[in-house]
């Protein structure tokens, strides 16, 4: 498959999900929001920076959700649960055993739910401008449900119309620091991504999202990034994610743009943080090169789920010697647990599990 070529996979109910691949390296899945269209993403002021950044050093997987973009629009099951199952169908179709997830907006909620359901598959989780609670679930902010109702009415009337006040307000909400030509890009994205009726239906699903329970069971390393003056998703929603996900790192970005411009300092800050956080081929190769031949053998058996006694029996060494090797491996890989060591070796193999014996 050529880079950026659009292909289709079949989801659990026969819905066709459009996807595309680009770049090379450890696999990273970019979760879609309700505003995506694979054929337009590379020209979109919202998505182009993400594609450029993540295609450099990673095998980037991107797709359109059901009901949106180039995926099937008219579907019987248009629900949050179906979005999660579509991600699983795509991962299975591409035979992705271990990969990182990057989620923005409600794509972050899909990533959270997937990471909670399939913990062994997700190596890293990046959440940017994301939330666990849709507007109708933010009971501590009573004005949010009212905003939701107003937005739905405006979508039905002014969606995709460049000369409509809603389009101007919509673009300025997502990119208040955007230039005049950004409005045209946002309006085209609206028109391509969904009809007014489809956009309203997708928005209603978003407003009722609640994945707070999933936050408490996520065990993979997580980076939460959020714009300080984000008017689309208040920064408190990002802080909630960072508080509830064990060990999550929180990065506050000095911008008002929900989708940052690629020429602003906050975007460079985010890209640097993401590249440092996500596993790269070079970093994995460098860490693995520090292991001795015996440590590589121990790590390989460890990745298959063997305990110290079993590893010792396989290699003809004592359990104590195995334990010493394991601690040495932890130090060289910069991990603290066997689970993290398994993640490291899978990242080094770019998502492939160890060969079975």
pLDDT digits (tens, 9 = 90+) for 140-166: 776 777 777 777 777 877 776 666 677
Residue intervals in the chain for CATH 3.40.50.1820: 6-140+209-278
- Topology, domain 282-348: Arc Repressor Mutant, subunit A (1.10.10)
Q: Which of 307, 346, 351 is nearest to 326 (CA)?
A: 307
pLDDT digits (tens, 9 = 90+) for 64-108: 999 999 999 999 999 999 999 999 999 999 999 889 999 999 999
pLDDT at residue 172 above 90? no
Instruction: Return all residues near 114 (Cβ < 8 A) that are at least 6 apart.
Output: 84, 87, 88, 101, 122
Report how far residue 273's alpha carbon sits from residue 112's, in angstroms, rounded to the nearest whole number: 19
pLDDT digits (tens, 9 = 90+) for 179-228: 777 878 888 888 899 988 888 899 899 999 999 999 999 989 999 999 99
pLDDT digits (tens, 9 = 90+) for 21-62: 999 888 999 999 878 999 999 999 899 999 999 998 899 999
**Between 46 and 3, whose confidence is greater?**
46
- Please give the CATH number for the structural domain made up of 6-140+209-278: 3.40.50.1820
Q: Point out the least confidently predicted range of 112-121, 123-132, 169-178.
A: 169-178
User: Which string of DSSP letters, residue by residue, matches 117-156?
Assistant: H-TTTEEEEEEES--SB-GGG-TT-THHHHHHHHHHHHHH
Residue intervals in the chain for CATH 1.10.10.10: 282-348
> Which whole number is the average pLDDT over 222-245?
96
Report how far residue 122's alpha carbon sits from residue 98's, in angstroms, rounded to the nearest whole number: 6
Entry pTM: 0.80
């Amino acid at each position: 498959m050529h880079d950026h070529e659009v292909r289709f996979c079949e989801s659990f109910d026969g819905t066709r999900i459009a996807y595309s691949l680009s770049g090379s390296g450890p696999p990273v899945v970019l979760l879609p929001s309700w505003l995506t269209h694979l054929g337009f993403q590379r020209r979109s002021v919202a998505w182009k920076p993400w594609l450029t950044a993540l295609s450099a050093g990673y095998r980037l997987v991107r797709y359109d959700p059901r009901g949106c973009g180039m995926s099937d629009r008219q579907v019987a099951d248009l629900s949050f649960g179906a979005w999660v199952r579509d991600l699983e169908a795509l991962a299975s179709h591409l035979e992705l055993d271990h990969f990182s997830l990057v989620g923005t907006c409600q794509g972050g909620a899909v990533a959270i739910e997937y990471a909670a359901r399939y913990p062994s598959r997700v190596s890293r989780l990046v959440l940017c401008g994301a939330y666990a609670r849709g507007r109708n679930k933010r009971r501590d902010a009573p004005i949010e449900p009212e905003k939701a109702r107003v937005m739905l009415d405006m979508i039905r009337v002014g969606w995709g119309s460049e000369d409509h006040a809603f389009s101007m307000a919509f673009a300025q909400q997502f990119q208040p620091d955007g230039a005049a030509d950004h409005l045209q890009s946002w309006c085209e994205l609206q028109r391509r991504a969904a009809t007014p009726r489809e956009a309203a239906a997708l928005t209603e699903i978003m407003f009722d999202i609640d994945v707070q329970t999933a936050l408490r069971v996520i065990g993979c390393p997580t980076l939460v990034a959020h714009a300080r003056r984000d008017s689309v998703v208040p920064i408190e929603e990002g802080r909630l994610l960072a508080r509830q996900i064990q060990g999550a790192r929180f990065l506050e970005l000095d911008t008002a743009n929900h989708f940052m411009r690629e020429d602003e300092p906050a975007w460079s800050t985010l890209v640097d943080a993401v590249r440092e956080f996500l596993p790269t081929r070079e970093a994995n190769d460098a860490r693995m090169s520090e292991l001795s031949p015996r440590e590589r053998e121990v790590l390989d058996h460890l990745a298959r789920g063997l305990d110290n006694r079993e590893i010792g029996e396989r290699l003809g060494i004592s359990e104590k010697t195995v334990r010493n090797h394991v601690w040495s491996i932890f130090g060289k890989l910069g991990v603290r647990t066997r689970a993290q060591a398994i993640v490291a070796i899978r990242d080094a193999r770019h998502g492939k599990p160890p060969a079975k014996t």
